[in-house]
Amino acid sequence: MILLLDEVSREELVTAIGEDGFPSVYIVAPAQVGPLEWLATDERRAQGEAEARVLAAEWLLAGSAAVGGQSGNPDPVQAVEDALDGFPADEVVIVGHGALDEELLTGLRSLGVPVTWSGLRLQVPSFRSRWRHRMRTLGSGRSEGTPWVAFVGANLGLLLIGVVIALIASLIVWVIRAL
User: How much is the average pLDDT of 149-162?
Assistant: 91
For residues 133 and 152, state if they share a domain.
no
Could you count the other beta carbons within 10 Å of the beta carbon of residue 133? Answer: 19
Domains: count for the chain: 2
Give percent above pLDDT 90 in the chain. Answer: 27
- Gap between the Cα atoms of 69 and 54, Å rounded: 6
User: How much is the average pLDDT of 46-65?
Assistant: 86
State pTM to two decimals: 0.67
pLDDT value of residue 83: 92
pLDDT value of residue 20: 66
Instruction: Please report, for the domain that includes residue 93, its CATH number.
Output: 3.40.50.620
Q: Give the DSSP H or E segment for 116.
A: strand 115-118
For residues 169 and 99, state if they share a domain.
no
Range of the domain at 154: 146-179
User: How much is the average pLDDT of 95-104?
Assistant: 82
For residues 135 and 150, state if they share a domain.
no
User: How much is the average pLDDT of 138-148?
Assistant: 70
For residues 133 and 45, state if they share a domain.
yes
pLDDT value of residue 98: 82
- Gap between the Cα atoms of 65 and 148, Å rounded: 45
For residues 76 and 138, state if they share a domain.
yes
For residues 118 and 48, state if they share a domain.
yes
For residues 95 and 126, state if they share a domain.
yes
Annotate 159-173 with b (16+ C-beta within 10 A) or e (fewer): eeeeeeeeeeeeeee
* Average pLDDT of the residues of the chain: 84
Annotate 43-75 with b (16+ C-beta within 10 A) or e (fewer): beebbebbbebbebbbebbeeebebebbbbbbb
For residues 40 and 67, state if they share a domain.
yes
Instruction: Yes or no: say if 102 and 122 are a contact pair by the CB < 8 Å rule.
Output: yes
For residues 81 and 136, state if they share a domain.
yes
Which of 3-7, 84-88, 123-127, 156-160 tops mean pLDDT?
156-160
